[in-house]
Amino acid sequence: MSALASTHHAELAATTPLEELDVSDPALYRDDVWQPYFARLRREAPVHHCRNGMFGPYWSISTYKEIVQAELLHKVLSSESALGGISIRDRPADLRLPMFIAMDPPRHDEQRRAVQPIVAPANLAKLEHLIRERACRILDELPRNETFNWVDKVSVELTVQMLATLFDFPQEERRKLSYWSDCATALPMPGGIIETEEQREAVFAEMLASFMGLWNARVNAEPGNDLISMLAHAPATRHMSPREFMGNLVLLIVGGNDTTRNSITGGVLFLNQNPEEYAKLRANPALVESMVPEIIRYQTPIAHMRRTAIADVEFAGHTIREGDKVVMWYISGNRDEAAIEQPDRFIIDRKRPRQHLSFGFGIHRCVGNRLAELQLTILWQEILKRFDRIEVVGPEKRVHSTFIHGITELPVRIPA
Amino acid sequence: MPSIIYIEHDGTEHAVEVPIGHSVMLGAVENNIPGIDADCGGECACATCHVFVDPAWLALCGTPGEQESSMLSFAATAAPNSRLSCQIPVTEALDGLIVRMPEAQH
């Protein structure tokens, strides 16, 4: 962000009456100016009610400790898709998709357990070699002395190849996965990748049709080691409705794609913004291990998770009423000075770097966290073997979203 | 002070003294024992301080609560003697407790 914009938003954040502060505007994230608003909420109103938010009234929880506490209240703070699910923006009631992240126990637990084996230690060990081979190939083919978009050539490419493997989806059609992922999370707007909810439904129908063939083949075969086979054979998911299958596909595609993609991009950006950290890393490549969780914290690829109260609940001195929308801002909790030392600094060798909110906590904690870390770790190990520097040569372009905290373009150049 | 024996997945043993009232998780973290990550800091909100309690000690460690059981059910390698070590407070009776670490925390 420019210094001028930064000053303007610092002023606005300081002078807006507290009850009018609305952190749900996606432009705050597209323009990367969300920081001072949350600094004020954390200081003055860690649990804050906004009456006139862009997506309706909602509670904000912005401090680390309170977010963890809210995560544990899954009995009163529901994730149920029919109530609005996990994102601040409500989709039209008839278009809400059931998926296990947007379910409460016991259905959530049963369906989640169906896919959990994909990230068991033995399976991750098997994937490690494949990831390294692919990372090497992607990096070796990068142009030198030439400006290119790191997001497209590396971040999307590596994560989408991985996702195709996890689904045992045809590799030659892998870019469909990132397209569906982008469509799933896009805010409908004129000129956008998705202009209306109806258009999104049509894309989802196309996605479902594409996966239905894979499902039919796998449900009649011996249980395999891919996500579709796991869903087709697990008692909790084998009789899912097509809509539930669609929902879980969206979940696994977005979860396995958008998040790691944006952390891969974020890492390059942060090291360029912090040259002393980049020098530290070059001098000691073993720091990749602590840098990876630090990248995931600093990026916070999912800015928030939303819940809906299904009963009145006393929370940190406030009464949250049945039906209220509650938003846990991971992006803010990860910058909470009460929980993390110098939280606004990117420090690749900080103590206890895994203590962050990016994966969420409680029963909905990210299933793929270790796989995400594995991909980032291998990619950075291989980058350091090859390139002295990856230079960011122009401003990044960010996603216009309150939910996905992401980067669509990062122009870089690798000196020959 | 009670002594707790932590055994890493590769068999490496660490015997350390842990103050009464600390959790078994905290004992590992404060002594820099690898294999217990404790990402959530002891709130029973993740499953990265998962341990297998030696069967001889299982009863003395109490039984997991509902939240702990939920979190353990998502751990990659849970077994009947699995516990989250942040939920086991160290007492005089646990002097000599043996816990083993899983292959990986999740």
For residue B77, pLDDT beyond 90: no
Beta-carbon separation of B45 and A72 below 8 A: yes
- Identify the burial level of B31 via C-beta atoms within 10 angstroms of its C-beta, where 0-12 means exposed, 13-18 middle and 19 or more buried: middle
Chain A hits for B28, CB-CB cut-off 8 Å, are none
Residue type, B31: N
* Crossing angle of the two packed helices A175-185 and A258-273, in degrees rounded to 10: 90
Contacts of A126 (CB under 8 A, 6+ apart): none
Cβ count within 10 A of residue A416? 7
Residues of chain A numbered 56-75 and touching chain B (CB < 8 Å): 68-69, 71-72
* Crossing angle of the two packed helices A258-273 and A369-386, in degrees rounded to 10: 40
B79 close to A (CB below 8 A): no
Helix (H, G, I), strand (E, B) or coil at A320: strand
Of the partner residues B40, B47, B103, the one whose CB lies closest to the CB of residue A68? B40
- The pLDDT of residue A4 is 81
Number of domains in chain B: 1
- The pLDDT of residue A1 is 58
Mutate to test the interface with A, among B10, B73, B105 (most CBs of A within 10 A): B73
- Identify the burial level of A221 via C-beta atoms within 10 angstroms of its C-beta, where 0-12 means exposed, 13-18 middle and 19 or more buried: exposed
Q: Give the C-alpha separation, B83 to B102, whole Å.
A: 11
Q: Which domains does chain A have, with CATH numbers?
A: 3-413 (1.10.630.10)
**Residue span of the structural domain in which B8 resides:** 3-100
A377, two tokens: 């770790």
For residue B87, pLDDT beyond 70: yes
A103, two tokens: 């379910």
The answer to whether the beta carbons of residues A23 and A60 sit under 8 Å apart is yes
Of the partner residues A69, A120, A354, the one whose CB lies closest to the CB of residue B39? A354
Of the partner residues B37, B45, B71, the one whose CB lies closest to the CB of residue A354? B37
Contacts of A342 (CB under 8 A, 6+ apart): none
Chain A hits for B39, CB-CB cut-off 8 Å, are 354-355, 359, 361
Token match 């949350």: residue? A38
Q: At CA B9, angle to CA B7 and CA B11, rounded to 5?
A: 55
B69 close to A (CB below 8 A): no
Instruction: For residue B23, give the CATH number of its domain.
Output: 3.10.20.30
Going residue by residue through chain A, which has 416 residues, state the pLDDT in tens, using 9 for 90 and above: 577 888 999 999 999 999 999 999 999 999 999 999 999 999 999 999 999 999 999 999 999 999 999 999 999 999 999 999 999 999 999 999 999 999 999 999 999 999 999 999 999 999 999 999 999 999 999 999 999 999 999 999 999 999 999 999 999 999 999 999 999 999 999 999 999 999 999 999 999 999 999 999 999 999 999 999 999 999 999 999 999 999 999 999 999 888 999 999 999 999 999 999 999 999 999 999 999 999 999 999 999 999 999 999 999 999 999 999 999 999 999 999 999 999 999 999 999 999 999 999 999 999 999 999 999 999 999 999 999 999 999 999 999 999 999 999 999 999 98
Percentage of chain B surpassing pLDDT 70?
100
Chain B hits for A127, CB-CB cut-off 8 Å, are none
Question: Quick one: which H or E segment has residue A29?
Answer: helix A27-30
B30 close to A (CB below 8 A): no
A278, two tokens: 């980049």
Of the partner residues A112, A361, A367, the one whose CB lies closest to the CB of residue B45? A361
Beta-carbon separation of B46 and A113 below 8 A: no
Question: Quick one: which H or E segment has residue A292?
Answer: helix A288-299
Question: Quick one: which H or E segment has residue A392?
Answer: strand A391-392
Is residue B105 assigned to a domain? no
B12 close to A (CB below 8 A): no
Is residue B55 assigned to a domain? yes
Is residue B106 assigned to a domain? no
Q: Give the C-alpha separation, A97 to A80, whole Å.
A: 10
Query: In A317-415, which ranges are continuous DSSP H helix?
Result: 330-333, 369-386
What are the strands, taking DSSP E only, across A96-177? Answer: 147-149
Beta-carbon separation of A109 and B73 below 8 A: yes
Contacts of A21 (CB under 8 A, 6+ apart): A13, A37, A40, A41, A45, A48, A50
Size of interface A-B (CB pairs under 8 A): 54
- The pLDDT of residue A258 is 86
